[in-house]
Amino acid sequence: MRTGTSSFKKGIFLLSAFCISAGLYSQTVYDDFEGNKTVRYSAKNGVLDTTKANPAPNDINKSAKCAMYVRNRAQKFDNIKMPLNGKLSDVANYATYLGVPPKLKMKVYTTAPVGTMVEILLGDKLMNNTFPGGTNSQYQAHTTVTGAWEELEFKFAQIPEGSETPTTGVDQITLLFNPNSESSDTYYFDDITGPAIIPMATTPEVNKDKKGTTVSPDKNKKPTTENKK
């Protein structure tokens, strides 16, 4: 029995590794701060500047622009809310301990101490990403350098008990620097990357003739004989 379980887990691991190497988990850069973005910044506790010059370009981040955030020491769980222009594709592949799941990524520069936690919550914007109901899953990373850019890869932490947000219902990202602290450090960040975004569905335009009869969703299409009667 143990051999069967071991073989199953090994199979899952190899399949996950293959999917990643084959590029089957499409990822999107949500904001590169150079004019390409699919998120908004609807709420924050600290001071955010999304047009800041890169303080120290290096091989990790050569971009001219990035975001700067000064944490609010008065808020233990200081955060930035980022609604998306659509929903993320099913995040079930990210929210798992099995195999080698794809990772959320973000470039960070800070003078905060090495080992400082950065956290991402994926959730529902209508529920304002509240914890736990409006949060689908939680991801964490820790800084390894100070005073230089590095790319953080976020490890899945948990699906909170009491979550009411499915893996297919994520349309907001919440970012927390050094959560559950009273620090006021400054963080520069860039190239927030994660699951692909499914654009919001648009309702087809409905056309009517002079009598108000529905004709066709294509305004260039002539009314049918049936509709003219």
CB under 8 Å to 156, separation ≥6 — which residues? 94, 95, 96, 97, 101, 137, 138, 139
pLDDT band at 212 (very low <50, low <70, confident <90, very high): low
Class of domain 26-195: mainly beta
Q: How many CA atoms lie within 13 A of 171 on its CB side?
A: 12
101-105 long-range contacts, CB within 8 A, separation 24+: 101/16, 101/156, 102/20, 102/25, 102/27, 102/195, 103/153, 103/154, 103/155, 104/139, 104/153, 104/154, 104/192, 104/193, 104/194, 105/151, 105/152, 105/153, 105/154, 105/191, 105/192, 105/193, 105/194
Q: Is the pLDDT reported for residue 107 higher than 60?
A: yes
* Whether pLDDT at 4 is above 90: no
How do residues 139-183 score in pLDDT, each as one tens digit? 999 999 999 999 999 999 999 999 999 999 999 999 999 999 999
- Ranges 6-20, 70-84, 94-108, 112-126: which has the least confidence: 6-20
d(CA 171, CA 86): 6
Is 26's pLDDT higher than 90? no
Average model confidence (pLDDT) across the chain:
84
CB atoms within 10 A of CB 62: 9
What's the confidence (pLDDT) of residue 211? 55
* 169-178 pLDDT tens trace: 999 999 999 9
